[in-house]
Amino acid sequence: MVREVPEKVSLDGLEERYDERWTQDGTFAFDRSKTREQVFSIDTPPPTVSGSLHVGHVFSYTHTDVVARYKRMRGLEVFYPMGWDDNGLPTERRVQNYFGVRCDPSLPYTEGFEPPHQGTDGKNVKPGDQVPISRRNFIELCERLTADDERLFEELWRRLGLSVDWAQTYQTIDATSRATAQRAFLRNLARGEAYQAEAPGLWDVTFQTAVAQAELEARDYPGFFHKVAFHRPDGEKVYIETTRPELIPAAVALIAHPDDERYRHLFGTTVTSPLFGIEIPVVAHTAAEPDKGAGIAMCCTFGDLTDVQWWRELQLPTRSVVQRDGRITAETPEWLADSPGRALFEESVAGKTTFSARTAIVDALREAGDLDGEPVSTQRKANFYEKGDKPLEIVTSRQWYIRNGGRDATLRDELLARGKELDFHPDFMRVRYENWVGGLNGDWLISRQRFFGVAIPLWYPVLPSGEVDHDNPIAPSEAELPVDPTSQAPAGYTEDQRGVPGGFVGDADVMDTWATSSLTPQIVGGWERDADLFERVFPMDLRPQGQDIIRTWLFATVVRAHLESGVLPWKNAAISGWILDPDRKKMSKSKGNVVTPMDLLVEHGSDAVRYWAAAARLGTDAAFEVGQMKIGRRLAIKVLNASKFALSFGGGAGSVIELDGTKVTQPLDRAMLAGLAAVVEQATQALETYDHTRALEVTETFFWTFCDDYLELVKDRAYGAGADSAEVSAETESARTALAVALDVMLRLLAPFIPFATEEVWSWWREGSVHRAPWPDPLPLRAVAGDAYAGDLTAAGHALAALRKVKSEAKVSMRTPILGAELAVPATALPGVTTAIEDVKAAGRVTGELTLAEAAEGQGDAAVQGGIVVTSSELGEPEARKKG
């Protein structure tokens, strides 16, 4: 039954209208009565709320939504939640500036705290003016602030048409997430997978926190090679080249490659350091690079990660001089007590930044004659925290770690096996996982010396001596979670015992944000909170994400699920590519080439933007192409117009359309449906293998051919020339039914890609939402098509094109009648053109005879109208223009 076909169709306003309707009807609400086999669960990436969404988000989230809508139409109950990542540094900074506060975990919680500011117009509040507050208060303010961001984000996602169940949302800092992260940590601890160690680690002096391997970024950093002499007992000089001469007081060995002939005679001997006269051994290690610098290196504690490796493997002593603030220690180290360089150290080095210390030491070296030549500038690679702008130092501290295979071959092999078990889309993305896991050089450091985040849920006893007993941490019971050890006392203690002998201290650190977000499947799935839900959705079906966080988010999630449940967290990982600007550069804020997504959706329409996104394959970088969006918009409008047309033949609103295949009797109509059946098969197969691009392409191509050829061919027959609505011929009925059947199928095929236009058309004549309609089945189409050959429609289309060409070349209107014509048709196309001859004549406005002959060998060009050639034709008078 056709209810309503608008006089003038439009895409405008569809986004708001259908978002509202879908919400009202609960179209995407998750039905938790379904069993695991009936559910398709998606572990959505939670966007960082303190950042802003950009075009890349729109791009990749569309890929996921296409899958969600497809799976839903396949009859699966889709579990598609949305999360907000508000845990971590970006939010911490925003809260500081917005409210004018600063987190001090040593402070107690203040009930009903009101911050000094409510937004500071983007101006930073000076650290001195920030009001220090407890971590719990700080987290509360974060939750207050991010609520606004979440509203904006949700608005954008709704406009884009993400078929998320908005009743299922989470925040990575909410109580559930905190409890989940802490529970998982306590389980790791109980099983021995989490441990603490006092060890040298990468340290960001700006943020004052330890940094994990996964957060590193190697960047070029300018420096100078200094050629510095160490001294053998006989006075011979051994030159090394270093970019960090300020670490000479921390030197513990000189190291060369065991095969290096130049230094072989030195192994086993000692040298003394310049200026400080500390005696150190010369030893061999394969990590020394003979062709780098002098080929012999100074090992200090610690200049870089190779130093750490040497120190560990060669059991070298520890002589650290760099402190957590990035300055050289102010106290004179004991090994320099009797050093000739003691005065130099105390006067010019102690307490200085590494930069000033370097200047002082270089001057002294030059004066002492131990600097050969002048420093030579160089670009070296240095490790940076991805959010920092100073090279990382290596300092020794007590930190918590979770085992991830970085120091344990058995676990590494298990995790590599998990990688093989996971279906990556595209498959080659697996190597990124394998390279990363294979290249790990330590366990996962999860302690962060930050304030805003999920607390490490532990306390430590304070011994009668006043020392903290880190070896016997006090853990909360799982029922108490989430806890904040800096503002809550452990069971059996009271708050006044904090920090006093016989009492306790809380661990002041928080966990790495990945330690929480690696648990998103558990957080959304109700792990240990809602067992009924958990067993219906976990392990999940799909993790969509970007290629840049395979080493972090994807890997960490695999680690957690493996350790906790002994399973892979999901079956499939769909990896989206980057968005590049038209100059093939990665779009980024700093380059100023970012387009605001909301503006984009408003300007082009959501279906258009989705089309652009869906036209790019997974794992492939895509250009930001406005042209591509215009094509999408054109498709969406065409869907509206063609649908309106196809539904108009029966008489428009109020007419009844039966999707009764037995009424499709004409060969051309059945040929069209045969072609459509093949399209359904191809699109289905493509979507099953996460190839949404191909599904879109085959569907779109068919749709345009449908409009340009089929619709034109059957137009007259569908109108039912001459017959009134009461007596409709079988031929007319066949065309009308075929049009409706095809429309019904094509709308469903296109629904995942352009959900708004398809839903609009669906509303004109079908019941419910197209997004809950079953995915098309090729079998009934095949049954209707019978033995019809899809190529017959192609052949008829080519014949029509040949007739159009005559008019086009004569530069006359397409409505010009052809009084008579003769076509030479290749033998393969002859049956198709013959059966459809009446439709061809009508569409081509052939008023007289249209005779067909078999084309001779070599006649015609297959690339032009399928090889059909008009051998003779006579054009009539162009139809007179209607008088206006």
Which residue among 267, 335, 645, 789 contacts RNA (CB under 7 A)? 645
| Nearest alpha-carbon partner for 171 in 570, 486, 513 | 513
CB contact at 8 A, 203 and 209: yes
- Stretch of 397-405, 517-525, 669-677, 807-815 contacting RNA, by CB under 7 A: 807-815
CA 118 to CA 121: how far, in whole Å?
9
Closer residue to RNA in complex, CB, 98/555: 555
Structure tokens at 241: 């080249």
Which residue among 124, 318, 620, 729 contacts RNA (CB under 7 A)? 620
Closer residue to RNA in complex, CB, 318/435: 435
Which residue among 468, 508, 533, 637 contacts RNA (CB under 7 A)? 637
- Residue 761 phi/psi, 5° resolution? -65, -40
Closer residue to RNA in complex, CB, 188/213: 213
- Least separation, in Å, of the C-beta of 649 and RNA? 9
Which residue among 554, 622, 785, 852 contacts RNA (CB under 7 A)? 622
Closer residue to RNA in complex, CB, 148/708: 708
Q: Considering the rule CB under 7 A, would residue 12 count as an interface residue with RNA? A: yes
Closer residue to RNA in complex, CB, 34/804: 804
Q: Considering the rule CB under 7 A, would residue 805 count as an interface residue with RNA? A: yes
Question: 445-466 b/e with 16+ CB inside 10 Å = b?
Answer: bbbbbbbbbbbbbbbbbbeeee
Report which secondary-structure segment, H or E, holds 545: strand 540-546
Q: Considering the rule CB under 7 A, would residue 678 count as an interface residue with RNA? A: no
Report the site for RNA in 438-457 (rule: CB under 7 A): 439, 441
Applying CB under 7 A, the site for RNA has a residue count of: 70
| Nearest alpha-carbon partner for 530 in 168, 820, 784 | 168
User: Partners of 586 in the beta sheet?
Assistant: 580
Q: Considering the rule CB under 7 A, would residue 60 count as an interface residue with RNA? A: no
CB contact at 8 A, 489 and 530: no
Closer residue to RNA in complex, CB, 11/481: 11
Closer residue to RNA in complex, CB, 114/809: 809
Which residue among 381, 407, 589, 591 contacts RNA (CB under 7 A)? 381
Report the site for RNA in 835-874 (rule: CB under 7 A): 861-865
Report the site for RNA in 647-676 (rule: CB under 7 A): 648
Q: Considering the rule CB under 7 A, would residue 376 count as an interface residue with RNA? A: no
Q: Considering the rule CB under 7 A, would residue 623 count as an interface residue with RNA? A: yes
Q: Considering the rule CB under 7 A, would residue 432 count as an interface residue with RNA? A: yes
CB contact at 8 A, 485 and 499: no
- Least separation, in Å, of the C-beta of 388 and RNA? 15
Q: Considering the rule CB under 7 A, would residue 584 count as an interface residue with RNA? A: yes
Q: Considering the rule CB under 7 A, would residue 633 count as an interface residue with RNA? A: yes
Q: Considering the rule CB under 7 A, would residue 328 count as an interface residue with RNA? A: no
Which residue among 494, 596, 813, 851 contacts RNA (CB under 7 A)? 813
Report which secondary-structure segment, H or E, holds 379: strand 376-385
Q: Considering the rule CB under 7 A, would residue 628 count as an interface residue with RNA? A: yes
Report the site for RNA in 590-619 (rule: CB under 7 A): 615, 617
Q: Considering the rule CB under 7 A, would residue 804 count as an interface residue with RNA? A: yes
Q: Considering the rule CB under 7 A, would residue 721 count as an interface residue with RNA? A: no
- Stretch of 67-75, 358-366, 495-503, 631-639 contacting RNA, by CB under 7 A: 631-639
Instruction: Indicate the burial class of 644 (C-beta count within 10 angstroms; 0-12, 13-18, 19 or more).
Output: middle
CB contact at 8 A, 95 and 452: yes
Which residue among 206, 379, 596, 641 contacts RNA (CB under 7 A)? 641
Which residue among 16, 25, 259, 548 contacts RNA (CB under 7 A)? 548
DSSP annotation string for 503-534: SEEE---EE-HHHHHTTHHHHHHTTTT-HHHH
Which residue among 129, 478, 688, 708 contacts RNA (CB under 7 A)? 708
Q: Tokens 């310049």 map to which residue? A: 274
Instruction: Indicate the burial class of 597 (C-beta count within 10 angstroms; 0-12, 13-18, 19 or more).
Output: buried
Closer residue to RNA in complex, CB, 265/811: 811
Closer residue to RNA in complex, CB, 91/682: 682
Closer residue to RNA in complex, CB, 128/884: 884
Secondary structure class of 112 (helix, strand, coil): coil
Neighbouring residues of 187: CB distance < 8 A, sequence distance ≥ 6: 564
Q: Tokens 């330590």 map to which residue? A: 442
Which residue among 480, 528, 697, 716 contacts RNA (CB under 7 A)? 697
Q: Considering the rule CB under 7 A, would residue 644 count as an interface residue with RNA? A: yes
Q: Considering the rule CB under 7 A, would residue 631 count as an interface residue with RNA? A: yes
Which residue among 57, 135, 807, 845 contacts RNA (CB under 7 A)? 807
Secondary structure class of 393 (helix, strand, coil): strand
Q: Considering the rule CB under 7 A, would residue 551 count as an interface residue with RNA? A: yes
DSSP annotation string for 635-689: HHHHHHHHHHHHHHTTTSTT------GGG---HHHHHHHHHHHHHHHHHHHHHHT
- Least separation, in Å, of the C-beta of 743 and RNA? 11
CA 776 to CA 760: how far, in whole Å?
18
Handedness of CA 193, 198, 199, 202 (dihedral sign): positive
Closer residue to RNA in complex, CB, 104/625: 625
Q: Considering the rule CB under 7 A, would residue 289 count as an interface residue with RNA? A: no
CA 490 to CA 503: how far, in whole Å?
10
Report which secondary-structure segment, H or E, holds 733: helix 730-750
CA 78 to CA 30: how far, in whole Å?
7
SS (H, E, C) 414-454: HHHHHHHHCEEECHHHHHHHHHHHHCCCCCEECEECCCCCC
Closer residue to RNA in complex, CB, 126/882: 882
Report the site for RNA in 198-227 (rule: CB under 7 A): 213, 216-218
| ω into 59 cis (within 30 of 0) | no
Closer residue to RNA in complex, CB, 174/304: 304
CB contact at 8 A, 479 and 431: no
Handedness of CA 632, 633, 639, 642 (dihedral sign): negative
Structure tokens at 792: 């017959």
Report which secondary-structure segment, H or E, holds 147: helix 135-160
Q: Considering the rule CB under 7 A, would residue 791 count as an interface residue with RNA? A: no
Q: Considering the rule CB under 7 A, would residue 881 count as an interface residue with RNA? A: yes
- Stretch of 29-37, 50-58, 318-326, 623-631 contacting RNA, by CB under 7 A: 623-631
- Stretch of 52-60, 365-373, 729-737, 805-813 contacting RNA, by CB under 7 A: 805-813
- Least separation, in Å, of the C-beta of 754 and RNA? 13
- Least separation, in Å, of the C-beta of 582 and RNA? 7
Work out the end-to-end distance of the chain between its first and last CA atoms, rounded to an integer number of angstroms.
36
Q: Considering the rule CB under 7 A, would residue 436 count as an interface residue with RNA? A: yes
CA 655 to CA 192: how far, in whole Å?
71
Report the site for RNA in 505-544 (rule: CB under 7 A): none
CA 129 to CA 115: how far, in whole Å?
12
Which residue among 126, 265, 815, 883 contacts RNA (CB under 7 A)? 815
Q: Which amino acid is at 457?
A: P
R_g (Cα) of the chain, nearest Å:
36
- Pairing status of strand 270-272 against strand 279-284: antiparallel
Which residue among 330, 463, 814, 856 contacts RNA (CB under 7 A)? 814
Q: Report the interface residues with RNA, using CB under 7 A.
A: 9-12, 213, 216-218, 381, 428, 431-432, 435-436, 439, 441, 547-548, 551, 578, 584, 586, 615, 617, 620-623, 625, 627-628, 630-631, 633-634, 637-638, 641-642, 644-645, 648, 694, 697, 701, 704, 707-708, 711-712, 801, 804-805, 807-809, 811-815, 861-865, 878, 881-882, 884
